[in-house]
């Protein structure tokens, strides 16, 4: 336990002293996590909205895949990204292995199903007849999307926070 506390004290001293290397690492971490979260939100929120408000054959399978993705172990995602980006992988020619871009890809894969699942839940929490009421009052499709998003704003905020938090814990 003493080793843990000594390490913790050294870490706090490095942060407070403004050590250049530590600050660069912290900023890179924020940049990578922030970028991955933004990408996951830009892709996951529309898909979650679509899944919540439409019915189509195979919808339950897609929702099951999203729920399955929420529990993906980071090691599996890391291995998958490594196989994609390794020298002889399908994307190996891009030379992205061991770069911040590769980290964004991996963290985006981790955050995407979390954001999508929370968004789906947020829109499913709304009253089922709210969509019909908004449309019957003459709202356009864009107005419908905006009003539904406003009604589900706390759930959408939770989706963004869970996407970012999911990366930080793993």
Q: Looking at the domain assignment, is residue 124 inside a domain? A: yes
User: What CATH number did the domain enclosing 47 receive?
Assistant: 1.10.3720.10
Q: What is the pTM of this model?
A: 0.83
> Domain range for residue 59?
32-169
pLDDT digits (tens, 9 = 90+) for 18-42: 888 888 988 999 999 999 999 999 9
Q: Looking at the domain assignment, is residue 96 inside a domain? A: yes
pLDDT of residue 167: 65
Q: Looking at the domain assignment, is residue 146 inside a domain? A: yes
Q: Looking at the domain assignment, is residue 22 inside a domain? A: no
Other C-beta atoms closer than 10 Å to the C-beta of 11 total 11
Q: Looking at the domain assignment, is residue 61 inside a domain? A: yes
Digit-by-digit pLDDT tens for the chain (170 residues) are 788 899 889 888 888 888 888 889 889 999 999 999 999 999 999 999 999 988 999 999 999 999 999 998 999 999 999 999 999 999 989 999 999 999 999 999 999 999 999 999 999 999 888 888 998 999 898 898 899 999 999 999 999 999 887 666 55
Number of domains in the chain: 1
Structure tokens belonging to residue 24: 């660069």
**What's the CA gap between 41 and 51, in Å, rounded?**
15
Q: Looking at the domain assignment, is residue 11 inside a domain? A: no
CA–CA distances in Å: residue 72 to residues 99, 106, 111, 160, 164:
22, 11, 10, 18, 15
pLDDT digits (tens, 9 = 90+) for 119-133: 999 999 998 888 889
CA–CA distances in Å: residue 31 to residues 41, 89, 137, 151, 160:
15, 26, 43, 30, 16
Q: Looking at the domain assignment, is residue 5 inside a domain? A: no
Q: Looking at the domain assignment, is residue 20 inside a domain? A: no
């Amino acid at each position: 336990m003493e080793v843990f506390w000594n390490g913790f004290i050294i870490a706090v001293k490095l942060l407070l002293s403004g050590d250049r290397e530590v600050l660069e690492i912290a900023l890179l971490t924020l940049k990578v996590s922030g970028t991955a979260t933004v990408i996951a939100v830009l892709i996951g929120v529309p898909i979650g909205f679509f899944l919540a408000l439409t019915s189509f054959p195979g919808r339950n399978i897609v929702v099951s895949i999203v729920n399955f993705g929420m529990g993906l172990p980071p090691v599996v995602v890391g291995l998958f990204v490594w196989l994609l980006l390794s020298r002889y992988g399908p994307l190996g020619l891009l030379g992205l292995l061991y770069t911040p871009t590769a980290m964004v890809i991996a963290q985006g894969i981790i955050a995407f199903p979390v954001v999508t699942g929370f968004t789906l839940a947020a829109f499913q929490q709304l009253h089922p007849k709210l969509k019909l009421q908004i449309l019957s009052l003459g709202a356009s499709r864009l107005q419908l999307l905006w009003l539904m998003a406003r009604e589900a704003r706390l759930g959408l905020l939770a989706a963004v926070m869970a996407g970012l938090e999911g990366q930080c814990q793993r």
